Amino acid sequence: MMRFAVAVLTVVLTVAGFADAEEKRVRRVAVPVVKIEKGDACVAPTEEMRRDHMNRLLHQRDRTLRQGIRESRFSLKNCIDCHASRETGSVLGKDAFCSSCHAYAAVSMDCFECHTPLRQSRAAGAPR
């Protein structure tokens, strides 16, 4: 009985310790905000998108520009359409879909040097 109580106590303390560490980490580093603004599901399973979105975009960009194949599934425009923030209409900025994750992972992206980060209707100046 005594042994069981010790085991339970140990487990509880360990979990509490982890939670505490987690909380500290959260406070130290801004955790990415992955907020899906529109639609139920992405164009591919989440795991695949997390790991592979850059390759999908790279492949599609060459097909679109060089061959004129304009499929919307993996197009940057399609990404922005769903993932742009409701408030700002953009995927960039604090807590925005692209920039929060990229800031967390310290990976710079060049897409928006040329491409507009705004959702299409916003970019066209039309009220949403």
Q: Determine if 65 is a binding residue for other proteins (CB under 8 A).
A: yes
Residue written as tokens 């925005």? 96
Instruction: Give the separation between CA 107 and CA 56, rounded to whole angstroms.
Output: 17
Query: Which of the stretches 1-9, 33-41, 64-72, 86-94 binds other proteins when contact is defined by CB under 8 A?
Result: 64-72
* Residue range at the interface with other proteins (CB under 8 A); choices 1-9, 33-41, 56-64, 86-94: 56-64
Rounded to whole angstroms, how far apart are CA atoms 38 and 119? 12
Q: Is 53 in the site for other proteins (CB under 8 A)?
A: no
What does each C-alpha distance from 64 to 54, 69, 77, 79, 94 come to in angstroms? 15, 5, 12, 15, 30
Place of tokens 């940057």: 76
Site membership for other proteins, residue 59 (CB under 8 A): no
Interface characters, 18-47, with other proteins (x: CB under 8 A): ------------------------------
CB contact at 8 A, 93 and 85 = yes
Rule CB under 8 A: is residue 61 a binding residue for other proteins?
yes
Interacting residues with other proteins (CB under 8 A)? 61-63, 65-72, 77, 80, 113-116, 118, 120, 123-124
